[in-house]
Amino acid sequence: MSAIDFWLGRQRDTAADLPGADLPWLVRLREDAIDRFADEGWPTTRRENWRHTSLAFMAQQALAVRETVAPEAVVADLRARYRAALGTAQDPARKAVESAGDDGHWVVFVDGHFAPALSAIGGLPGGVRIGSLADALGQTPEAVEAAFGQAGDGEAPAALNAALAADGAWIRLGRGVAVEPPIHLVFLTATVADQHLRNLVVTEPGAQATIVEHYPAGAAGSTLTTAVTRVLAAQDSHVTHLKLQQEAPEAIHLATIEAEQARGAVFASHSLSFGARLARNDIRTRLAGEGAEVLLNGLYHADGRRHVDHHTRIDHARPQGTSREFYRGLIDGSARGVFTGRILVAQDAQRTDAMQRCDNLLLSRLAEADARPELEIYADDVKCAHGATVGQLDEDALFYLRSRGVDAVHARQLLTYAFAAEVLDRIAHAPLRAFGRAALLERLPDGARLEELL
């Protein structure tokens, strides 16, 4: 069962064995977090931020693994796919990745714990630390404390995560260093029904890195992932974050990505959500320093009876911030796609330039999409634009393709792919773009045929 009592019991039974159980601040934070979760419970549609996504069913949901997977095989497959993407991306990025030794840095977590044997962290420039949170709690607990976040942060599932997370990635980037090849983080349930990850990324001024979170399909059965990733982007740092969620068809995936941007910091978030029975991503950033820039870019695909929800929030707290937000959804079958884009422009945030778009393509009669922009503007000298659409494939374009001999099925696939590909085009790193494209094509019927022509 996944009822509240189950999780209270879990916390009680495991708290003493969690990494950092000797750190008073963390013990208190975990207790506060589980208390908060007990108090709030699983969110239902009565909560404003959960209007279209209820987790009430979780109280009766039995989490159980029906079939385990061999993590070695899943990781090998993922890395092989990435190497294939490297092969198709003909650009200098490949050289940078290869110079790192192999195909970039890979930090693997199995069943919620760091798996050093499956990980491969190449040579790193001075001032860079990539490792596990559990280790960091032993080595530099003060640094972790400063980045960990609070029990009251985010939504109720984030509190559950704070109480239970035993591990995650710990990434520190020193002043002015650039890590060229992507840092791949892989999270996978192989034998257990739930995993709780907390990833912390801390940068010093001017640092640059690309961090990829992979959630490949793991154990079959009703599984739960909670993940919280916090990015503290110091002055003039550049952090690109890409998340590829491809969890198994019955998985529940509840995740938060939270960034704080200092003056001139540039943060790009790409969220590709293709798997899981229910996926909810809360993505927030706070432009806490002047002239910070953010890109929130996302693509989701849901079919069958699956449900995907992105809830984003951009806080323009200081002047001259720029935000660009582009989300697209492909909704098929009886699936439902939800997007909420909240943009808050504080009174002090003059000359903010914010733009948001969310476009959804309904591929079946029973598919459903909700796209809701929420703008709250307290400054008077700002540029804010937003737009949301829910529609179907363009009949004129379909006929144009057919009039050139392309059959109707292929024409539909091509237009569907083209609609989604605009999101992928914003991924600057060519191998990651190719990797994202391959993941998308796998979701589309007859994607292989499209691929050979692209």
Partner 1 sequence: MLKINNLHAAIDGKAILKGLNLEVADGEVHAIMGPNGSGKSTLAQVLAGRETFTVTDGSVDWNGADLLALPAEERARAGLFLAFQYPVEIPGVSNAYFLKAAVNAVRRHRGLPEYDAMDFLARVKAEMKAVGMKEEFLYRSVNEGFSGGEKKRNEVLQMALLEPRLAVLDETDSGLDIDALKIVAEGVNRLRSPARSMIVITHYQRLLDYIVPDKVHVLSQGRIVRSGGRELALELEEHGYGWIDAAQGDKAGGASAGARP
Report how far residue 413's alpha carbon sits from residue 364's, in angstroms, rounded to the nearest whole number.
13
Binding partner 1 (rule: CB under 8 A), the pick from 16, 46, 142, 404 is 404
DSSP secondary structure code for residue 48 in this structure? G
**Which residues ranging from 207 to 246 are in contact with partner 1 (CB under 8 A)?**
none
- Does residue 56 belong to the site contacting partner 1 (CB under 8 A)? no
Closest approach, Cβ 421 to partner 1, in A, equals: 5
Report how far residue 81's alpha carbon sits from residue 452's, in angstroms, rounded to the nearest whole number.
16
Give the residue with the Cβ less far from partner 1, 266 or 424: 424
The angle formed by the CA atoms of residues 334, 56 and 198, to the nearest 5 degrees, is: 95
Binding partner 1 (rule: CB under 8 A), the pick from 414, 427, 434, 440 is 414
Give the residue with the Cβ less far from partner 1, 322 or 413: 413
Alpha-carbon separation of residue 329 from 280, 406, 418 (angstroms):
14, 25, 12
Cα within 13 Å of Cα(141), Cβ side: 11
Mention every residue, 6+ apart, whose C-beta is less than 8 A from residue 268: 239, 240, 241, 294, 295, 297, 428
* Tokens, residue 11: 């916390």
Closest approach, Cβ 393 to partner 1, in A, equals: 11
Closest approach, Cβ 327 to partner 1, in A, equals: 16
Give the residue with the Cβ less far from partner 1, 193 or 414: 414
Q: Which stretch binds partner 1 (CB under 8 A): 186-194, 284-292, 365-373, 414-422?
A: 414-422
Give the residue with the Cβ less far from partner 1, 66 or 402: 402
DSSP secondary structure code for residue 317 in this structure? -
Closest approach, Cβ 411 to partner 1, in A, equals: 8
Give the residue with the Cβ less far from partner 1, 18 or 420: 420
**Cβ distance 67 to 219 under 8 Å?**
yes
Q: How many residues lie near partner 1 (CB under 8 A)?
A: 25
- Does residue 327 belong to the site contacting partner 1 (CB under 8 A)? no
Mention every residue, 6+ apart, whose C-beta is less than 8 A from residue 39: none
Give the residue with the Cβ less far from partner 1, 60 or 403: 403
Hey, what's the torsion of the CAs at 22, 28, 29, 30, to 10 degrees?
70
- Does residue 406 belong to the site contacting partner 1 (CB under 8 A)? yes
Closest approach, Cβ 451 to partner 1, in A, equals: 11
Give the residue with the Cβ less far from partner 1, 201 or 441: 441
Report how far residue 432's alpha carbon sits from residue 82's, in angstroms, rounded to the nearest whole number.
8
Give the residue with the Cβ less far from partner 1, 324 or 372: 324
Closest approach, Cβ 432 to partner 1, in A, equals: 18
- Does residue 405 belong to the site contacting partner 1 (CB under 8 A)? yes
- Does residue 418 belong to the site contacting partner 1 (CB under 8 A)? yes
Handedness of CA 403, 406, 410, 411 (dihedral sign): negative
Give the residue with the Cβ less far from partner 1, 21 or 409: 409
- Does residue 326 belong to the site contacting partner 1 (CB under 8 A)? no
Give the residue with the Cβ less far from partner 1, 5 or 425: 425
Report how far residue 67's alpha carbon sits from residue 218's, in angstroms, rounded to the nearest whole number.
9
- In order, the DSSP letters of 334-347 are T-EEEEEEEEEE-T
Closest approach, Cβ 415 to partner 1, in A, equals: 7
Q: Which secondary structure element, helix H or strand E, spans residue 419, and what is its range?
A: helix 408-424
Alpha-carbon separation of residue 204 from 35, 118, 181, 373, 396 (angstroms):
34, 29, 18, 33, 51
Binding partner 1 (rule: CB under 8 A), the pick from 10, 83, 129, 410 is 410
Mention every residue, 6+ apart, whose C-beta is less than 8 A from residue 93: 429, 430, 431
Closest approach, Cβ 437 to partner 1, in A, equals: 12
- Does residue 91 belong to the site contacting partner 1 (CB under 8 A)? no
Closest approach, Cβ 362 to partner 1, in A, equals: 17
Closest approach, Cβ 355 to partner 1, in A, equals: 18
- In order, the DSSP letters of 247-264 are --TT-EEEEEEEEEE-TT
**Cβ distance 232 to 260 under 8 Å?**
yes
**Which residues ranging from 384 to 403 are in contact with partner 1 (CB under 8 A)?**
394-397, 399-403
Give the residue with the Cβ less far from partner 1, 214 or 437: 437
Report how far residue 366's alpha carbon sits from residue 337's, in angstroms, rounded to the nearest whole number.
12
Binding partner 1 (rule: CB under 8 A), the pick from 91, 422, 446, 448 is 422
Residues of this chain that bind partner 1 (CB under 8 A): 394-397, 399-408, 410-411, 414-415, 417-419, 421-422, 453-454
